[in-house]
Each structure stands twice: as structure tokens, then as C-alpha cells.
Amino acid sequence: MTNRLYYGDNLEVLRNTAQFPDACVDLIYLDPPFNSNSSYNVLFRAPNGANGGKGTDASIEAFDDTWQWGPAAEDALSDIRSSGNNKLWTLVDAISKSIGKNALMAYLAMMAVRLIELHRVLKNTGSLYLHCDPTASHYLKLVLDALFGTENFRCEIVWKRTFAHGNVGKNYGDVTDTIFFYSASKAYTWNQPFKQVKGEKAAKKYPNVDEDGRRWQSVTLRNPGVRPNLHYPYTASDGVTYQPHPNGWSCNLERLQKYDAEGRLHFPSKPDGALRLKMFEDESAGERIQSLWDDIPPIGAQAAERLGYPTQKPRALLERIVATSSNPGDVVLDPFCGCGTAVDAAEKLGRKWIGIDITHLAIGLIEKRMHEGYDRPGDGFVLPFEVIGVPKDKDSALRLAAERPHDFQNWFCLKVGGYPLDGGRKGADRGVDGHFYPYENSKETSTGVISVKAGQNIGVAMIRDLRGVMERDGFPFALFLSAYEPTKPMIAEAAAAGTHENEFGRFQRLQILTPADLFHGPGAKLPPLASINRRHARVETRTSHAPGAQGELM
């Protein structure tokens, strides 16, 4: 299977049984919108023409976590009724009658119809982790119980996602998320996770030190149950014969002799004391992970992995889930992949992966993230994966520009190695749609400005305006990204902006780029581009490998 990214409504993508046959996925992680009525996540919004042109009106806008009852929610309710799962329909119908057809019910209906498909594609040995918050978690658990069966509920994980809030009013600080863990059957994949004990806690747990400096703790050799067959006296290497606990020893004579020969027995100070076992710190796998996860902190403001995406989760969180509930070569699916943390964790741990998202912003960020993280320019390796549903040529790019200009803006900006301004939100540009970060030398970068135009009504005044922004704010470079071919006066005005010279050569300061240039031409001629933590303008050591931006640091 080829690793794949899908742009589109995950319901429509998952219903393509040629691409997603029954029982084809080993692990599903989903971090869907939380229905918390705040700007928080990327929601469903079908492209024009999808679903027979109806769209998904329960979604208002990317990053606006807002829902309303409408035709799409009614369709979802109808799909649940006809799904054949009587338990789920009885539950959803009862909730609808209880709370009414409102925003919360729209959310539940839209989630339930997608969870039907996710349950279908999950293998019998597979697991599903659903990440949510308290606004709808109790309803979502009922939906999962109806789909998977209460017998396949494994755990409710509580993740401490942030630190204490100092501005809490008449309430308790909300610092945790919930992750529901279900399996398709009792035969699910499980690799026991551990966490290492460090610092003062480790010193307290392993208070003793051998002559060779190895730390250890003393643990009982008492059997937890009554075992008559393990009830025998033992004469140890110190010459003392020790009697077992009335329950018996925790191991047989051969194993006890082996412990003794290896110097692993802890002899009591008194002959009538209890013989115990030395448990060495350097041989311990650590502590078994419990259901409270307070050891994975949120992504810090200066963290290298921070992408500026509003719902980004730490990769360590996803690595724990992927490592525990899948094996190398297994297929991991994230149907709400956002900025791609689950995809990144799956690739790092040697799993195959599938990501689905409804915004070009998310898909573009994941493309950049994966290439910057795993490509090796020095030996020519480019991470192979397929991106489905995004423009592949000039004509499809023009269709996107005509049907969804804002998505075109985000897509084009990311494809040339830039970053949409303020997370790609509408109305945030004021004439500037993004930035890119060319290297001036091997260590320092400058900032370039991007303006994107999706319409046919373009002219030289737009180039003059962009030049004015360059001069006013001191940008050495600018890209004017146009869906349609520029006029001769526009080309002349761009050339009049002059050139900028740095360690990597001499480059035209203001360049015009069209989809035709992106797919069939040389693209922009720029210095190598840096991967940037946009919010804090901190340069990473990696370089951009986005098509359309020439020049890479090797």
C-alpha cells in the first residue's frame, strides 16, 4: 500500500470501497472537531459539487468549531437509520428526541455516520482512539458503545494537555482531554507501553547501589497466591537456609538458584528475615503506562515541532498510541489529520499511513512537514506518498481558483514554499496572503511576502501595490501568485523592482508565478527556503522542498 493523503470530506472518501475495502486498517486515531463553539479545529466542508451539490452545512468555516442543524445533518440521521445498525439508530433517535435537533445533535449525527465507516474499515485485530473534550464526550462514548460493543471498550485515557489556568472564574480549570480507546475484538494488537522513571523519583524507587554503581530496589519473593508446589526451604550462597512465605516462593528452585548465582538476591540482616530480590534500574522497562497521561506536555511556544496549527498535538502523544496499538508495516488512518501529527508518528515508527482532511491548508502543511522531516536531499531520497484530490495540473488549479478562491490561495502559497498568513484564515490578509523565508547565507534568513489572486481581473496596479508593501516594510523578495497569465505591463512592473543579491546568487526581487509555471515551468527562482516556526519567526535547520521554489541547501 502506498502512503496516501486525501483532500476531501472524509465521509465521501471512506465510502469509496475501492480505496477503502472492509477491514483494511490496523489503527485509527481521530481528533475531530470538539463542538466547543470556539475557533478550535478544522471542520467538514465539502467542495462544491460534492454530495450532489448539497455541501455539509453543519460546518461553517475552517477553524470555526460551530455546528447547526440543517439538511446535511438530516441526511446523516437518515444514513444512520438505513445503516442496519439498530442499536446505533435506537440510541441516536433517542438522543435526538431528548435534546432536540440543535447544534449538538448535528455534531453527533455527523460524527456517528463517519464512525460507521471507520468501524467498517477497521481490522478485527485493530483499535480506535477517539480524542475529544467534555462538551460531547459522554454522547460520543454511547455511539462508540453501540458500534463496537461495550465489551470492546478498553479504556478512557485522560491526557493533561496544558498547565494550570490562572484566570479560571466560577469553575474548575479545564486542563485535560479525553481519549476513548476501543478495539474491534478481544484479539487486538497490544504492545505494553512503559515510561522511564527519572531524577528524584528514580532515586527514591531505586535507593540502593551495588559496588559496581548499579541502582536497585528490593522486591518481594512472596507468591501473591497460595502455591504449595513452590513451598520449599532454600539454602542460599550466604550459608543461611531461608523459609518461604506461607504462600510459597514466587519462582521455582531453578530460577531462585539462578538469581543467587547472578548476585540478585538481597539477604536480610537477620537470618530469620525474608529473602528478597534485587530489581536493577538499568534492566527495568520502566513503569507500565496507566490511564492518566500527565507525562506528555503540550507543545511549547518555542518547540521545534510547533507549526502554528491551532489543534496540533505533541508527536510523543501519537507515538505512544501508534507504538502500543500497531506493529511495523501496519496501516494507520487519521481521518481528521489536521497538520499530520499521527501521520508523522506513523512514518517515524515504520508504519504505513493514510491521512484525510477537508482543507488544502492542512494537506499542504502535511506535505511540507513530511518532506522536510524525511527527505534526504544529499542522497536524492524523496519520501514517497500519494496526494489525492489536490490540483495536479493547470486546469485543475484553475477549477479550484474559480470554485474555492480561498482554498486556491492557501494551496498555491504552500506549493511555492510559503506559509499562509495567520493560518490561512479568511479576511486576515489586507493585501498580503503569506510569507516565505529565503536564506541570505547558510545561517541567516530574510522574509519574503506573497500576494495571491484567484480571479481573472488582474492588472499592473496590483504589482505596484505589492512593490509598495515591499518598500514600506523592507521585504527583499515578493511573489505575486496569479491563477491567470499576467499582462505585459505587470511583467514590466515586476522587473522594475530590481534584483537582490546574497550568498546564493542574484535573484529578481518581485516574481510572478502562475499554475502553468508551477506544473510546466521552472517555478520561482529563489534562494533556499527555510522551514519557519511562523508565530515566533524561529528558523529551523531544515529547508523547504515545495515544488515551484528553486534552490535547496544540500
CATH number at residue 524: 3.40.1340
- Show which of 283, 312, 347 is a domain's final residue: 283
- CA end-to-end distance (rounded Å), the chain: 30
Please, are residues 117 and 15 in contact by the beta-carbon 8 Å criterion?
yes
At residue 168, the pLDDT reads: 78
Provide the β-strand partners of residue 215: 209
- Residues 203 and 248 both lie in one domain: yes
- Residues 479 and 492 both lie in one domain: yes
From first to last of its 554 residues, the chain has per-residue pLDDT tens of: 689 999 999 999 999 999 999 999 999 999 987 655 443 333 333 333 333 333 333 233 433 444 678 888 899 999 999 999 999 999 999 999 999 999 899 999 999 999 999 999 999 999 999 999 888 999 999 999 999 999 999 999 999 998 887 777 888 888 999 999 999 999 999 999 998 888 888 888 899 998 888 999 999 999 999 999 999 999 999 999 999 999 999 999 999 999 999 999 999 988 889 999 999 988 888 889 999 999 999 887 777 787 767 788 999 999 999 999 999 999 999 999 988 999 999 999 999 999 999 888 889 889 999 998 999 988 899 999 999 999 989 999 999 999 889 889 989 999 998 988 865 454 444 579 999 999 999 889 999 999 999 999 999 999 999 999 999 999 999 999 999 999 999 999 999 999 999 999 999 999 999 999 999 888 899 999 887 543 333 333 333 333 444 443 32
- Residues 185 and 44 both lie in one domain: yes
- Residues 187 and 263 both lie in one domain: no
- Residues 331 and 315 both lie in one domain: yes
- Residues 56 and 145 both lie in one domain: yes
Number of structural domains, the chain? 3
For residues 240 and 260, give the distance between their C-alpha atoms in angstroms, rounded to a whole number: 12
- Show which of 388, 414, 444 is a domain's final residue: 388
- Residues 441 and 459 both lie in one domain: yes
Instruction: Give residue 241's domain range.
Output: 195-283
Q: Residue 385: is it exposed, middle or buried by C-beta count within 10 angstroms (0-12/13-18/19+)?
A: buried
CATH number of the domain bearing residue 79: 3.40.50.150
Residue 329: which residues within 8 A CB-CB, separation 6 or more? 350, 351, 352
pTM for the model stands at: 0.78
For residues 311 and 317, give the distance between their C-alpha atoms in angstroms, rounded to a whole number: 13
DSSP 230: G
DSSP 244: P
- Show which of 388, 422, 447 is a domain's final residue: 388
Q: Can you give 468-487 as a three-state secondary structure string? A: HHHHHHCCCEEEEEECCCCC
- Residues 173 and 92 both lie in one domain: yes
- Residues 520 and 457 both lie in one domain: yes
- Residues 406 and 377 both lie in one domain: no
Residue 233's Cβ-side half-sphere holds a number of Cα atoms within 13 Å equal to 6
- Residues 173 and 223 both lie in one domain: no
SS3 415: helix
CA 304 centroid distance within chain: 15
Say what angle helices 86-99 and 137-148 make with each other, to 10 degrees.
Answer: 160
Amino acid at residue number 182: Y
Residue 112 φ/ψ region, left for φ over 0, alpha for ψ in the -120 to 50 degree band, beta for the rest = alpha
- Residues 424 and 465 both lie in one domain: yes
